[in-house]
Amino acid sequence: MSKILGVIGGMGPAATVAFLARVQALTPAKGDADHIRVVMDLNPQVPDRNTRPGEAEAVLGQMAERLAAAGAEVIAMPCNTAHAQAGAIRALCAAKGLGFIDMIAATADAAAASGSKRIGVLATPGGERLYAEALAARGIETVLLEGAGREAFMALVYGVKRGDVGEAARAGMSRLAQALLDAGAHGLIAGCTEVPLLLKAENAPVPLRDSAEVLAQACVAACRV
């Protein structure tokens, strides 16, 4: 019997749908009944995690409560930045004995397993802070975009949210990945769930850890018991 997965989504909608597709694809199944039952709250109205963090945390906690009421036994949130506002979610899971899969910790562990000691992170400012701390705790130096590169990254992320995943956007993300390599990174983390919608691991110039893929794998492992 599989555990029920609760997904706190909508940040953004396209990234959440892509995450669910990963969970489905990674689940070993011979038929419908072998797949994981998922309850999801895809809420694009979650306040901006970068500019309204307190409001975001309150809404995310309410979403977790609704998922728990719907039967979720394991909670996942396919948004890296929002893990800075996961306090209410963690408290709920602890109180109710639910599992919470930490996307940042799981991805940092996967990156550390590669053996690289300098890893470039493609993430929002909030995501950068989370990964810098997690990687430092694992003895890994973080390489980040700066100035115009960071501004270009955010423009691409918000473009994906508008539906722009065209050739120019993909080329832009590739250039930013190369900029991190030029700055000394030996590996990359797609630390924002919009990144893999523009840059696939197989197209990256060095090993790229896709945080959404890592989270999906962890969800399958946690729910297939």
223 counts as catalytic: no
Rounded distance between C-alpha atoms, residue 128 and residue 20, angstroms:
24
Which of 93, 192, 219, 223 is catalytic? The answer is 192
Residue of 79, 93, 219, 223 marked active site: 79
The residue assigned the tokens 């639910």 is 98
CA nearest neighbour of 189 among 165, 215, 207? 207
Residue 93 annotated in active site: no
Nearest of 84, 18, 13 to residue 44 by alpha carbon: 13
- Residue 63 Cα distances to 44, 76, 221, angstroms: 12, 11, 23
**H/E stretch holding 208:** strand 208-210
Distance CA 60, CA 43 (A): 9
- Catalytic site residues? 79, 192
